[in-house]
Structure 1
């Protein structure tokens, strides 16, 4: 079965699951990969056939292999145990990458949305949403702001994904002390989870910026302070600090972090 056959199989499966109901997209439906992604994005975390999962794994393995993989050896530290890299976080072949998630921890349900939550779940595969749903059902309530959970990376180059809920700031408002502490907690909670699982490196996106409206400069200062403090405690305790990659996507975020790291 080639890639087009895999795509056709998965689209047919998901449409039959929906009663052959197609969905409205802003993109033409003849763009089969985008349409498949949309169907997967909106699919609830319900039982699915092992055959589908095997075909999706094969499809994603080939898709993800076609993208360049970035390892820690490809990066140059700007500070001890701290790296800055601009690009797609799903290309990083590390112990863990962090997902800026919502409180359901089930990924983004908006078809073909460009948020990191959508992209990570899309490239990991359906198994990630199913795994996270099992965790959340057992927990019995949404994840609190500033907390985190860990999952396998599935078809991503990273071994694990740490899902954390950052604070959302109402448009036009400045983040107060509570929101700033919550953002710091997202970084610390993620680092603690990584340490508990014996991970040696981790990549963070710019948590809570973008649609969550946290000011970029302040978010970067909080992130760097949290990371540096955690690594400092590790050194004090005689532990090897976790290697941290600060992953940015926009040029503005790159300049903000570059200035902080080089100061």
Structure 2
């Protein structure tokens, strides 16, 4: 099945995903491209794990890969280290970067997803969380793999199994420029920060880095774990992230080419700049 442009692929995928959803099979959609694209993303977001015909996945992959090219894929060579950008005297300044932008554009060995304990991605249509953004850019194969991994764990640990805070789970990146996604569940801050929550966040960073060692992943981009929907204070989260990564590199610097602190908000960029410059 061949299509000459993105709009033809979008129209095809929209009809397939509408029919697949059953509930929204007769949904009327405005004819402009952006409206159709938002509806397709919403249908992908709400879709439960399950098989989809290979010919549909092929078109979805072509569509998402072209979108990634249009957004602009960012390679490591385009991101300065803190040695180059900040003239930093950090002992690992040649291996650390701070980059502000969309993590789904990064062609790193792995990007880190701040997941929830269900580990299936965000089901809220077009939600602004990083979990939704990563799953939307990767395609529905990512949710399917996450579900298979979680089912294996449920068989081992029990039907009510949820991923504990601070661990890391590796999946393929599918239609992302990154080869892998490493999913970790960060701590949720309720009333106030405490030692346990700080330790849990430290475990997230350590677990991801250990996962990289185990799978020979030499570059990884961290999002600001737990600082969004989970309400971890941004400044304290940055301190924990920098210290944990720095301590880990003291022992394993030769195993990494680059570790990127990916930020989306101006305030986070300022915190990392202050800590690393």
* Structure 1 contact 231–242 (Cα < 8 Å) conserved: no
Normalization by structure 1: what TM-score?
0.93
Deviations for 1:23-69, whole angstroms, at most 9, x for unmatched residues? 999x9685100000000000000121111111100111111111122
Equivalent pairs, count? 256
Aligned twin of 1:123: 137
* Residue 55 of structure 1, aligned match among 54, 59, 68: 59
Q: Establish whether residue 45 from structure 1 lines up as the match of residue 63 from structure 2.
A: no
Q: Establish whether residue 243 from structure 1 lines up as the match of residue 244 from structure 2.
A: no
Aligned twin of 2:24: 21
For 1:76 and 1:23, locate their aligned partners in 2 and report how far apart those are by CA, in whole Å.
49
User: Where do 5+ consecutive residues of structure 1 fail to align?
Assistant: none
For 2:150 and 2:96, locate their aligned partners in 1 and report how far apart those are by CA, in whole Å.
32
* Structure 1 contact 29–35 (Cα < 8 Å) conserved: no
* Structure 1 contact 221–260 (Cα < 8 Å) conserved: yes
Aligned twin of 1:152: 172
For 1:89 and 1:189, locate their aligned partners in 2 and report how far apart those are by CA, in whole Å.
19
Displacement after TM superposition at 1:12 (Å): 1.4
For 2:20 and 2:76, locate their aligned partners in 1 and report how far apart those are by CA, in whole Å.
41
For 1:226 and 1:32, locate their aligned partners in 2 and report how far apart those are by CA, in whole Å.
43
Aligned twin of 1:189: 207
Alignment of 1:169-248 (within 5 A): 169-170=189-190, 173-235=191-253, 239-248=254-263
DSSP 3-state at the match of 2:221: strand
User: Where do 5+ consecutive residues of structure 2 fail to align?
Assistant: 83-92, 155-160
Could you list the structure 1 runs, at least 4 aligned residues long, displaced by more than 3 angstroms after superposition. 22-25, 27-30, 239-242
Deviations for 1:91-118, whole angstroms, at most 9, x for unmatched residues? 1111111001111111110001111100
For 1:174 and 1:131, locate their aligned partners in 2 and report how far apart those are by CA, in whole Å.
35
DSSP 3-state at the match of 1:48: coil
- Judged with a 3 Å threshold, the aligned counterparts in structure 2 of structure 1 residues 180 and 6 are, in CA distance, closer, same or farther, namely same
Displacement after TM superposition at 1:227 (Å): 0.3
Aligned twin of 1:85: 99
Aligned twin of 2:78: 74
